[in-house]
Homo-oligomer: A and B are copies of this chain.
């Protein structure tokens, strides 16, 4: 099995000075799929690594991705167009295509920067003002949470052999045939491969976390069909300390066949490290 670093590797690329268009080669690895299709967060991690590499800044700050076609393992070509390179941030358009068929898999817009850089000058006062109107979800110890392996005979997607997700027992109802009635999932997330500390402490694992939970709506309806994501936006608010990520994803509005899924992600130091929102289609009755 490939490490996370290997599974998100992008080809050594022409230097940043080569802009404004960069071509990056990568490969969708085996074993990151759900029913044969690569997980959306895994695709984000590949795209995020391509974007930070091409634009020459270490962290994804904000990335929005539209999911255009399901993807299977194999080579992909990623085209990045630099739109602006400023003092603190660079922004680019990204398109990931199947390298054989040239069909577009995902398309993004993203801004990258350096979340570790001290904020100086006119921005320093702004950076000093803090407001945190929420707390990490109250979760039992990971070992006291529900795991996908607890599902017994049910199909467990290969994706869950790459990521370790522990569900709050109060939210795991839908996995035991008893939806809770509340379209919310809380739980812990970490990569099973904790190997490369530089990558583990980057924003890349967070890009996997933001799409690692099953559809929230599974706790509100017996419909178990695929809920296609149209668009997912991740805001990376901090670099995580190594360890578990405490996650909460929830849905407040299902209307006209659309629903949003809002996520908050906290590291073990209690720092908010990411927010996410996706717009998805309500699941079809399979």
Residue of B nearest to A93 (CB): B93
A154 at the interface (CB under 8 A from B): no
**Distance (Å) between the CB of A257 and the closest chain B CB?**
3
Query: Given contacts A132-B253, A133-B253, A256-B115, are A230 and B284 in contact (CB under 8 A)?
Result: no
> With the chains together, A220 CA to B91 CA distance in Å?
29
Known: A129-B254, A253-B134. Contact between A83 and B62, CB under 8 A? no
Interface string of A87-127 (1 = CB under 8 A from B): 00101010100000000100111010001000100110111
Q: Is the CB of A131 within 8 A of B89?
A: no
Interface flag for A2 (CB, 8 Å): no
For the complex formed by this chain, how many copies does it contain in all? Answer: 2
The verdict on A221 contacting chain B, using a C-beta distance below 8 Å, is: yes
Please tell me which stretch of A25-33, A156-164, A205-213, A275-283 contacts chain B, meaning at least 4 of its Cβ atoms lie within 8 angstroms of it.
Answer: A275-283
A54 to chain B, nearest CB (A): 15
Binding-face segment, A138-146, A168-176, A193-201, A231-239: A231-239
A residues within 8 Å of B by Cβ?
A: 61-62, 64, 66, 68-69, 83-84, 86, 89, 91, 93, 95, 104, 107-109, 111, 115, 119, 122-123, 125-127, 129-134, 183, 217, 220-221, 223, 225, 230-231, 233, 235, 237-238, 251-260, 271-272, 275, 277, 279, 281-285
- Whether A126 contacts B283 by the Cβ 8 Å rule is yes
New A-B contacts (14) at CB < 8 Å, excluding given A125-B285, A132-B254, A238-B256: A62-B66, A66-B111, A93-B107, A93-B109, A119-B256, A123-B281, A126-B281, A129-B221, A129-B223, A131-B255, A231-B235, A233-B233, A237-B253, A237-B256
